[in-house]
Structures are given as structure tokens and as C-alpha cells.
Amino acid sequence: MSRRETLSILAGALATAILACVPFLFGDYGLSLAINIVSYAVLATAWSLFSGPTRYVSLATVAFFGIGAYTTAVFAETLPWPAVLAIAAVIGVVVAAIVGLSTLRLSGVYFVIFSFGLAELVRQLVTWWEVNKTRTLGRYVFTDITAAQIYWQLLALAVLVFVVGFLIGRSRLGLALRAIGDDETVARHTGIDTTRAKVALFVLSTVFMTLTGAIMAPRWTYIDPAIAFNPVVSFTVLIMALLGGVHRLYGPVLGVVPLALLFEFLLARFPNHFSIMVGLVFILIVYAIPRGIAGLVEQAVRRPA
């Protein structure tokens, strides 16, 4: 392990320790803002875990997030909390495996199209099930989980996603994925089972999204399919990851913090024009900073040398 890696691990541990104190330092508003930021940090980092190295744009974040949230809504009252999280993760894995196995052996565009409508598909299926079988639309989520506990769970998940991302970067899988991102044909010719590598990583990244949804669900107390599968979430995660920069593990977080604050402000001031403004911000990012803040930082560091 190089000196630089040791330093970043220490910095990460220190940051986690400081962040764990947030519930004691700030009031309710500060805590809810922090929950928002950490949940998006997990989602954006998990998103770029797969989409960063492979360059396959996934538009399905909220499909998995929503699956997690709904699992909590259905099972939270009857099952112990760890069991709820486990069920959510399993459902997420199964859906991700179906999507991955059917599309990722083909070229990237099939994956994008499939992921584009996936949230809408799951939303309609859940709606259909609720209307026809349980005869309700919308559920109440009653748990005794406090906001601070949600925050700590999310923080633990964030640490986990970083550790997993760090380990992948050092593993054969990570090397295989970078090769796929550079040139998939070459990667296949050097003997990499590209489909298996892609599916494995896609499944892994979606597990984090599903768990985030499951953990976040008690925040709402009431959810229906339109809330749980809100396409704006997929979009927001995508913007945040891109602004931060997807080619570095720490990149997405750099995008999450400023944009979460900006969106908080925009939602409060312009609730009816939110998606217009977010769309404009997004287009601006795609054109002006294609390599994200992480890319800008690296450029600035490299220049004096």
C-alpha cells in the first residue's frame, strides 16, 4: 500500500468520525440536510462505480431506490429491520441481474434504453399490484427509527461503498472494467469475460441504491408509487456524479455537496420551475465541465509541475 493510499484512508476515517457527530451538533434542519447529502453521496458514488469505468449511462437509479423504499413500506411493521434490508437487497440483486444479463452482453445502447424505462415499468407494476391485489394505493411507514439513526445507517453505507470502490479499484475486476471502458473489443480479445465483469459490477452498484431506498423510506412516513419512483432522483444522481467527475472514486461527492445545497435552495424558491432549472444546470455541466470537478482539480494540480 502506497503512502498516498494510507493517507487517503486516514483522511477518510477522520472525515467519517467528524461526520458521525453531525446529529449532536446541528438541529433538525441541519440533520435533514445532512441525510439528504449523505444519501445522494451513496447513490452518486454507487452510480459511478458502474457507469464511471464502463461508460454505460444508467438512467435507472430510482428504479432500485424505489424498490428498496417499497420493500421497507411493505415489511417494516412485521419483520425485524435487518431482515427488511436483506430482502430489499435480494430483490434489487434479482432485478439488476435480469437487466444486466439481458442487455449487457449487447452494446451499451440497449442497456441505456432498458434502464430509461425501467423505473416507469416498476412503478406501473407496483401500481397494478397495489390496485388489483391489495386494493390500496399508498402505504404508511411506521417505524421507531429516528432521523439520527437513519443518518448513521446512511453514513455506514457511504463508508461501505467507498471501501468496496477502493477494493474494486485494486482488484482484477477493476482492471478489467477500465479495459472495457477504454476499448471493449480489445478487452474481450485479451481474455476478459466482459459480460460477467459488467453484470457483476452493475449488480453490486444497484445493491447500494436499493439499500439507500430502504433506509430512507422511514423519513417519508407515507409513500406511493409516484413518490418512491420519482424520475427526478435518477436525474439528480446523474448530474451530481457528472459534476463531480466519474473517473475518480471521490469525484461524485464533490458534485453532491454543492448541488444538494443548490437544489435545496431551488426547491424552496422555485418549486414549480424546479425541473426546468435542474435541466438547464445539467446541460451546462455536460457542455462546460465534461470531466467534472475532479478533472478540473487534477488539471489545476498538474499545471504548475
> Is-contact 117 227, C-beta < 8 A?
no
Distance CA(122)–CA(117), nearest Å, equals: 9
Q: Which is nearer to another protein, 29 or 287 (CB)?
A: 287
Q: Which is nearer to another protein, 120 or 149 (CB)?
A: 120
Residue 293 in the binding site for another protein (CB under 8 A) = no
| Residue 53 Cα to chain centre, angstroms | 15
Which string of b and e fits 230-245 if b means at least 16 CB within 10 Å? bbebbbbbbbbbbbbb
Q: Which is nearer to another protein, 105 or 196 (CB)?
A: 105
- The count of chain residues that interact with another protein, using the rule CB under 8 A, is 42
Residue 195 in the binding site for another protein (CB under 8 A) = no
300 exposure class (CB count in 10 Å sphere: 0-12, 13-18, 19+) = exposed
Which string of b and e fits 26-49 if b means at least 16 CB within 10 Å? eeeeebbebbbbbbbbbbbbbbbb
Distance CA(226)–CA(24), nearest Å, equals: 33
Residue 296 in the binding site for another protein (CB under 8 A) = no
Q: Which is nearer to another protein, 154 or 246 (CB)?
A: 246
Residue 247 in the binding site for another protein (CB under 8 A) = no
Distance CA(84)–CA(87), nearest Å, equals: 5
* Least spacing, CB of residue 42 vs another protein, in Å: 21
Helix count and strand count (H, E) for the chain: 15, 2
* Least spacing, CB of residue 290 vs another protein, in Å: 8
Residue 80 in the binding site for another protein (CB under 8 A) = no
Contact with another protein (CB under 8 A): which of 10, 18, 80, 102? 102
Q: Helix-strand-coil percent breakdown of the chain, rounded to 5?
A: 80, 0, 20
Residue 152 in the binding site for another protein (CB under 8 A) = no
Residue 131 in the binding site for another protein (CB under 8 A) = yes
Residue 106 in the binding site for another protein (CB under 8 A) = yes
Q: Which is nearer to another protein, 96 or 141 (CB)?
A: 96
Residue 295 in the binding site for another protein (CB under 8 A) = no
Q: Which three cell numbers stand for residue 50?
A: 458502474
Per-residue x/- track, 224-243, another protein (CB under 8 A): -------xx--x--x---x-
Distance CA(225)–CA(214), nearest Å, equals: 14
Q: Which is nearer to another protein, 15 or 113 (CB)?
A: 113
**By the criterion CB under 8 A, which residues form the site for another protein?**
55, 57, 59, 102-103, 106-110, 112-114, 116-117, 120-121, 124-125, 127-128, 131-132, 231-232, 235, 238, 242, 272-280, 282-283, 286-287, 290
